[in-house]
Structure 1
C-alpha cells in the first residue's frame, strides 16, 4: 500500500470499531472479580464481516452490523438482531449501504449505523426492526486521479442525547473532520475540520461539554460541544491512539495505543527522525491535561476499550493476539486474559446482567466469506 491511509483503512476495515454499553447498578461496584471459565463463554458464527455491536436493555436484544464483505461477490449488508442469551438470530434488517460502526440510543429505540466508505449514517428503529432513513453527510469530490470519492471515511460514532446530536469523525490522511448530525431533524448540522491526519477514536465528556478525538499521528483534539469548535490540541506521547473510552468519575481517558509496526515504518519513511512509542498498551490520560498517568500492557494490536465504571473494570480487545484483556480500572492491575481466537474486535456490555458481548473476526486460514462470530461472556 502506498500511503499510511491506505494501510490504515485496511486495518480499520478489519478492526473497526467502538464499545457500547449501559450503566450498571451501583450495588455491583465492589464485587470481587472472578476469573471466567470456559463454561461461561458462548460463541455463535452468525454472518460474514461482522463489526460493531450494541446491547439493548429496552429491547432485550443484541444488534450487530454485518457489512456483507468486500468485492463483487460480497453479500448484502444488514443488522442482525440476536437473542442475548442464546445468540440465535431473531431478525435480519437489510441495510441500503454497507454498515460497520454502530451506536445505540436505547431510550429512543434507535440504532445508528455508520456507512464507513459511503459518507452516510443509516438510522434503524429497534422496536420495529426497520430502517428509518439514511442520512447523507458528505458529497463525493473529484480526486487528483480524476475519480470521484468521499473525502472522509466514518469509523466511530458517539451519541450526545442531551444535545440531540451524533458525532462522527471523518478520517483522511489529508486532514480529518468531525461531522455533526442532528438526531432530531436527521440532517447534517456542521462539519468541524482540523482533527489532524487519520482521526480514529472519539469519546464524550457530557458533563463538561467536550469531545475528545484521537488521531494516528499521536494527537488528541478537544472540541467544545456548545460552540462546535476546537478548543485544545494535545500530543500525549502515544502514536497510535485508535479508540477511546472516557471515565466520568475518574476524569480519565483510556486509549488503546496499537503500536502496529507497519504504520510506524511508514511514518519513519515519511518523517525522518520519527521515533515510535511502544504500543500494545492502553494509556491512561488525565482528562484535564492529557498527560499519561499509566501505561497498561495488553496483547498485540489492542482495538476497543470498554469501561464498566460501577464495577471498575476495563475490557480491551486484542486483535493480534486473539484475546480480551480484563483490568481493574482503579489500580490498573490485569485480572485476566481471555482467549478468543481469531481476532476479537468490538465490545458491548449488558451491565445489569454483567454480560460482555464480543465480535470476533476470522483469520487468514478461515474460508473466505465464511460467517464471523459473536461471543457471549457471562461474568
Structure 2
C-alpha cells in the first residue's frame, strides 16, 4: 500500500471519527454522575452517511449533512432539513458532492458544507432549501503513478459572518493549511500554510481576538491571525490526538478532545518520524490559549471527538464515539454531570440554546446492518 493511499484513507477515518506546560488538575468523573434513562433521548434514522449538523434558531430547523456513504449501495449526497421537535425530514436538499462538515451563518441564511473528498465547499441557501454555489479550494495534482488526486482533505469549517470570511482546514501530512474564503464573492482569497506536517483536525474561531486556532497530530496548538493571515504562534501540548476544539469567549480557555484511538496511534507511528506514544487520551484537555498552558485534564469515556460549550449555562458536552455515549460536564469545576447512551458512534453536536436541547449525529458501526440509515438524537437537557 502506498504512503499517499494510506494518508488519504486515514484522513477519511479522521473525518468520520477527526515549552511543555506544567500539568493541570485531573478531574475524574464522579461515581454519582447521573446516567439518563433511554426515555430522555429521542432518536430517528434519517439517511446514510451522516456527519455534522447545525441548528438554526431563526428558522427553527436542524440541518444535517449526509454524504450518502460509499460503495455500490451509497445514497445521494444531501443536506437534510429536520423538524427540531420530531426529527421528521422536512426537506432534502440535493448536492453534487458528498457532504461532511457544516457551519451555519443563520442571519445570512447560508449553510457552508465541506466536501471533504473534493476539497471544496458547497453553499446552501437555507431559506430556499437549495444549493447555490461551490467554492473549489484546491485543484488536483498528478502523483508519481500518473493519477490525479487532491493533496488535502477538508475537515472543520468556521464562519466569521460580520467580516465575510469562512475558514476551512485542509489537512495533509505533507503540510496542513487554512483556506480563507470571501463569503460575499464566494472566492478563495488565501491559503495559509504552516499548520504542521500532519493532519490538522481541530478548528476554532476567536472573532473578538481576530484569531483562529487549529490542532494537529504532532501534538500542537497553532494560532493564526485573521488580520495578518499568518501563523503567529504554536504551542506543544500534551494531547497526543487533539481533535475538535471548543473556545470559551469569556475566558482564555480552549477545550480540546484528545481521542486516544489505536488506529490513529498506528497512523502516527507510521507517518511521524520519531513518534512515541506517551498518553492514552480519552480526555478533554483544557488550555490557556494565550500561553498554551495546561489548566486541566478531564476524563471522558472512550473515543472523545465532538465537543460543544454552552458558556452561559457553564456546560460542556462531549461525544464519545467508541463508548457510544454523550457526556455533560460543569465547565468550571470540570465534574461530570450526566451521561446519555446513544450507540453506536455519536459523532457531532448542535445546540438549541433557547430551549436547552442537544442534537447528536450518530454513525453506524460494523455490527449494524450494512448500508443502513444513520441517526440523529434529540436530548432534552432540562433546566
Whether contact under 8 Å (2:15, 2:155) holds in the other structure is no
- In structure 2, relative to structure 1, the CA distance for the partners of 1:2 and 1:151 (3 Å cut) is closer
TM-score, structure 1 length as denominator? 0.92
Give the Cα–Cα distance (whole angstroms) in 2 for the partners of residues 40 and 365 of structure 1: 24
- Which residue does the alignment assign to 2:262? 261
CA distance in 2 between counterparts of 1:358 and 1:90 reads 18
Cα deviation for residue 217 of structure 1 reads 1.3
> Distance between the aligned counterparts of 1:187 and 1:266, measured in 2?
34
* Residue number in structure 2 paired with 1:351: 353
Structure 1 position 219, deviation (Å): 1.2
Q: For 1:368, which of 363, 370, 381 is the aligned residue?
A: 370
State the secondary structure of the residue aligned to 2:118.
coil
Q: Residues 293-344 of structure 1, C-alpha deviation per residue, up to 9 Å, x if partnerless?
A: 1000111111111000000000000000100111000110011121110000
Say which of 313, 320, 329 aligns to 1:311: 313
User: Deviations 1:178-226 (Å, cap 9, x if unpaired)?
Assistant: 1000001111010001111101100011111111010111011110001
Deviation at 1:230, TM superposition (A): 0.8
- Contact 2:244-2:257 within 8 A present in 1 as well: yes
In 2, distance between residues paired with 1:219 and 1:335?
29
Residues in 2 aligned to 1:118 and 1:267: alpha-carbon distance in whole angstroms: 24
2:36–2:339 CA contact under 8 A, matched in 1:
no
Give the gaps of 5 or more residues in structure 2: 19-32
Report deviation, 1:261: 1.9
TM-fit CA distance, 1:92: 0.3
**Residues 1:272 and 1:228: Cα distance change in structure 2 (over 3 Å):** closer
* 3-state SS, counterpart of residue 157 of structure 1: strand
Normalised by the length of structure 2, the TM-score is: 0.91
Quote the residue 1:290 is aligned against. 292
Q: How many residues align?
A: 363
Cα distance, 1:290 vs structure 2: 1.0
Q: Would the aligned equivalents of 1:53 and 1:62 in 2 still touch at CA under 8 Å?
A: yes
2:90 aligned with 1:90: yes
Superposed CA deviations along residues 239-280 of structure 1, whole A, max 9, x for unmatched, are: 110111100112100000011123223434553462332301
Q: Distance in 1 between matches of 2:299 and 2:67?
A: 31
Q: Structure 1 residues 191, 249: CA separation in 2 closer, same or farther (over 3 Å shift)? A: same
How is 1:1-379 mapped onto 2 (pairs within 5 angstroms)? 3=3, 5-6=7-8, 8-15=10-17, 36-196=36-196, 197-268=198-269, 271-272=273-274, 274-379=276-381
Deviates more, 1:254-263 or 1:222-231: 254-263
Structure 1 gap ranges (5+): 17-32
The aligned residue for residue 25 of structure 1 is: none
Partners of 1:7 and 1:263 within 8 A in 2: no
* Distance in structure 1 (CA, Å) of the matches to 2:325 and 2:78: 26
What is the CA-CA distance between 1:6 and the residue it aligns to? Answer: 4.1
Q: Is the 8 A contact 2:37 2:340 kept in 1?
A: no
